[in-house]
Amino acid sequence: MNIFRLAGDLSHLAAIIILLLKIWKTRSCAGISGKSQILFALVFTTRYLDLLTSFISLYNTFMKVVYIGCAYATVYLIYMKFKATYDGNHDTFRVEFLVVPVGGLAFLVNHDFSPLEILWTFSIYLESVAILPQLFLISKTGEAETITTHYLFCLGVYRALYLFNWIWRFYFEGFFDMIAIVAGVVQTILYCDFFYLYVTKVLKGKKLSLPA
């Protein structure tokens, strides 16, 4: 554990909680892609199956359970409790175009051809692109609520911090995991355009809106 890793995990946790609270407090999931949230629930489910097979630390177990629990709670709020506010007409990204190629890639490029390892690899690849339906929704509506942009910022910063964590671990522990690193770089790059808008607009007190 180093400072980048811890900060990354906390940023990830903050993102998840910001989104849950936003939906809960406003009683609305307008502007949120349910498809991205289903993908994140799938990511956590396939990645954390090792909860059943190995114990790493109390921290590790606690965070995994919280991430999974919050992911399903978010999906529940969007598709059940506040279904009437769900922006289905704009949330039209075809997720099969992500899940199918990612599933194929996980079979082809992995560390070990075993069920748990393939599912872990699948989750890493899927996480790197799971935000695309959300970014697509924002590009379609042309705007995002400020609280939604805070969510996206924390979520993007999380993987960027993990990149620093991996650099740290490579230098000080000789550890590297090529699958996680490449997927993490892809994931972070997908947020760059958003980071630019966040810094130039949201942090200056303006609403995030895209030119028509």
Question: Residues in the site for another protein, rule: CB under 8 A?
Answer: 5, 9, 12, 47, 50, 54, 56-57, 60, 63-64, 67, 111-112, 117, 120, 162, 165, 175-178, 180
* C-alpha–C-alpha distance, residues 102 and 169, integer Å: 27
3-state secondary structure of 109: coil
3-state secondary structure of 113: coil
CA dihedral 19, 25, 27, 31 (to 10 degrees): -40
Nearer to another protein, 27 or 111 (CB): 111
Residue with tokens 């490579």: 170
Residue (of 192, 88, 201) closest to 146 by Cα position: 201
Residue type, 199: V
Nearer to another protein, 62 or 97 (CB): 62
Nearer to another protein, 55 or 96 (CB): 55
Nearer to another protein, 64 or 201 (CB): 64
Nearer to another protein, 15 or 137 (CB): 15
Tokens of 40: 């994140």
Residue with tokens 């303006």: 206
Nearer to another protein, 157 or 180 (CB): 180
Residue 123 to residues 4, 8, 200, Cα–Cα distance (Å):
21, 18, 32
- In angstroms, give the least distance from the CB of 207 to another protein: 32
- In angstroms, give the least distance from the CB of 165 to another protein: 8
Whether 15 and 151 have beta carbons less than 8 Å apart is answered as yes
- In angstroms, give the least distance from the CB of 126 to another protein: 15
- In angstroms, give the least distance from the CB of 16 to another protein: 11
- In angstroms, give the least distance from the CB of 54 to another protein: 7
* C-alpha–C-alpha distance, residues 74 and 147, integer Å: 15
- In angstroms, give the least distance from the CB of 153 to another protein: 19
